[in-house]
Amino acid sequence: MILADTYNSRIRKLQPNNPVRMEIVSGDGQTGTTGTALAPFIVKIVGQTNVPPAGISLTFAVTAGAATLSAISAVTDGSGQTGSSATPTKSGTLTITAFTAALTAVFTATINDPVVPVIAPGGIGQNGFSVPPVQTISQGAITTIYGFGFVAAESAPQLNGLSNGALSTNFAGICVTFDGVKAPIFGVVATQVTVAVPSLAPGTVAVQVLRNCGTAGEVKSNVLHVTAQAASPEFLYLATNADGVNPVAAVGADGGFIGINGAAAKAGDILVVYALGLGATNPAQTDGVPAAGAAAVTLPVGVTVGGVSLAPTDILYAGVSPSYIGLYQVNLRVPAGVASGKQPIVITVGTNQSPILGYLTMQANRPTLAFRQELYWPVGDTHEYRLPRARNVLRHRDLWHRSLDPVEVLRCPRAHWRGARCDQDRPSAAFAASGSSRRPLAFSSPAPFGIARSCYYNRVHTP
């Protein structure tokens, strides 16, 4: 048809733009896995004027293999393109055909069965990472399943977040079941998945990892049997060492961690020590939901530090840590009588005890020395200083290096002695003058254990 366009001073020729060919844009030759959707199969229709026509209806069909199509029919857009995607349900060669009444395009894809997830033998451990690991479980505990094939090997670590106020039990296509009950998931990589153990009764529990969870291509791992207890107590640590001797995560009243930058706990200090696996609480917790507030554990709790058992009144709280999932805390008052150094700390919940190698850095309290000591200067060269408190006898020439007991030290530097007499030029401020031929010297001052005191003596007279 020829038209005169007088307005634009042109002669125009109109002709039909019927589809003349179908081109594949993308999706051909891909490789996929059963149960996982493939990339879309995209085609483009070209008209006889070489202009892509819109509104052309196409049909997509599975002509070989087995798959579910996202769309059986589709219509081209303004660019002449349209498409459909497919989720394979069988391994092998998959053929998808797109066609109109006169045109056809054929896509092929290679479909493999997914890697079957495998849980390693003994592949479970609570997330305190004790040595040896805590491999029992309890409700609310944070634990990790180890193996391979949980997700694609090249996948980056994936961390789950709260959805509608809770951790989901199907994340990144992965589910973990405990006797068939799905656990809230914290995160997953190809070789491990970390979960919050759901509510369950003590006994032997079957654990499985499900890949492509909830789809037609779902694949289940082998079964790992583990022991569930009412509690599986374990402290969290500030650092983990190969020998398992680790500092527990304990916070002092100043907000600093005990064991960091020389900080040590002393008798009477109030500490918050973080833990896992303390079991059921009152009120009860909802699986995968952060603790709304304080909730004490329901089982009896005992704690020892350096072998010293805490009185029940010194265990101020043992329960969930508010706003967290699976985290517990023990608020305690450090008992008296614990020696300095790295002292083992152990918690018992019900009949279940934590690993014994975690430690708390302690500093024994330093009591003051307060006593009166009379110093006598007898005739002759033998000078004895009797300290009733220590029940010790020291000779003056040895006083500069001897200790009264393993921690109490009185020191008089050798330079301050003149032969058999004390230094007359450095009188002690504590010296109480008297007219007696026996001149008493009074000691009454605080001194921490382990620190030597220099003590200077005034002239004393021979009786």
Nearest to 318 by CA among 286, 343, 350, 287: 350
Alpha-carbon torsion (203, 206, 209, 214), positive or negative: negative
Residue 210 pairs in a beta bridge with 175, 220
Helix H or strand E encompassing 92 = strand 92-99
State residue 261's pLDDT score.
87
Range 404-416 average pLDDT: 34
Residue 371 pLDDT level (bands cut at 50, 70, 90): very low
Q: Looking at 173-320, which runs of residues are DSSP E strands?
A: 174-178, 181-182, 185-189, 192-196, 203-211, 219-220, 224-228, 234-235, 250-251, 270-276, 281-282, 296-297, 301-305, 308-309, 315-320
270 forms beta bridges with 333
Q: Which residue, among 364, 362, 358, 363, has the nearest Cα to 238 in the 3D structure?
A: 358
In this prediction, residue 444 carries a pLDDT of 32
Q: How far apart are CA 156 and CA 172, in angstroms?
A: 11
Which pair of tokens denotes residue 315?
């265990």
Tens digit of each residue's pLDDT (9 = 90 or more) over 16-25: 778 889 999 9
What are phi and psi for residue 414, nearest 5 degrees? Answer: -55, -35
Mean pLDDT of all residues in 405-430: 34
The CA R_g of the chain, rounded to the nearest whole Å, is: 40
57 or 449, higher pLDDT: 57
Q: Where are the beta strands (DSSP E) in 277-408?
A: 281-282, 296-297, 301-305, 308-309, 315-320, 328-333, 341-349, 352-353, 359-362, 384-387, 392-395
Q: What is the pLDDT of residue 22?
A: 93
How is residue 196 written in tokens? 């919050």
Task: Give the domain 118-228 fold.
Answer: Immunoglobulin-like (2.60.40)
| pLDDT for 230 beyond 80 | yes
CA angle 325, 329, 334 (to 5 degrees): 170
* CB-based contact 379:387 (threshold 8 Å): no
Q: What integer pLDDT is reported at residue 15 of this predicted model? A: 66
Residue type, 447: A
State residue 251's pLDDT score.
Answer: 96
pLDDT score of 330: 98
pLDDT at 462 over 80: no
The pLDDT tens digits of the residues spanning 24-47 come to 999 999 999 877 899 999 999 998
Residue-level pLDDT at 164 = 94
Query: Where along the chain do the CATH 2.60.40.10 domains lie?
Result: 2-112, 118-228
Q: What b-and-e string marks burial along 259-269, b requiring 16 or more CB atoms within 10 Å of the CB?
A: beeeebbebeb
CA-nearest of 313, 283, 281, 286 to 297 is 281
Nearest C-alpha neighbor of 100 from the set 18, 26, 15, 17:
18
Secondary structure tally for the chain: helices H, strands E = 0, 42
Question: 2-112: CATH homologous superfamily?
Answer: Immunoglobulins (2.60.40.10)
pLDDT at position 366: 54
**How far apart, in whole angstroms, are the C-alpha atoms of residue 156 and residue 166?**
23
Angle among Cα 434, 435, 438 to the nearest 5 degrees reads 80
User: Quick check: helix, strand or coil at residue 367?
Assistant: coil
Q: Is the pLDDT of residue 377 over 70?
A: no
Check residue 416 and report its DSSP letter: G
Name the pLDDT band for 14 (thresholds 50, 70, 90). Answer: low
**Residues 345, 105: Cα–Cα separation, whole Å:** 71
pLDDT of 397 higher than 50: no
CA–CA gap between residue 68 and residue 70 (Å, rounded): 7
pLDDT tens digits along 105-156: 999 999 987 778 999 999 999 999 999 999 999 999 999 999 988 988 778 9
Nearest residue to 329 (alpha-carbon basis) of 301, 309, 351, 289: 301
Percent of the chain with pLDDT over 90: 65
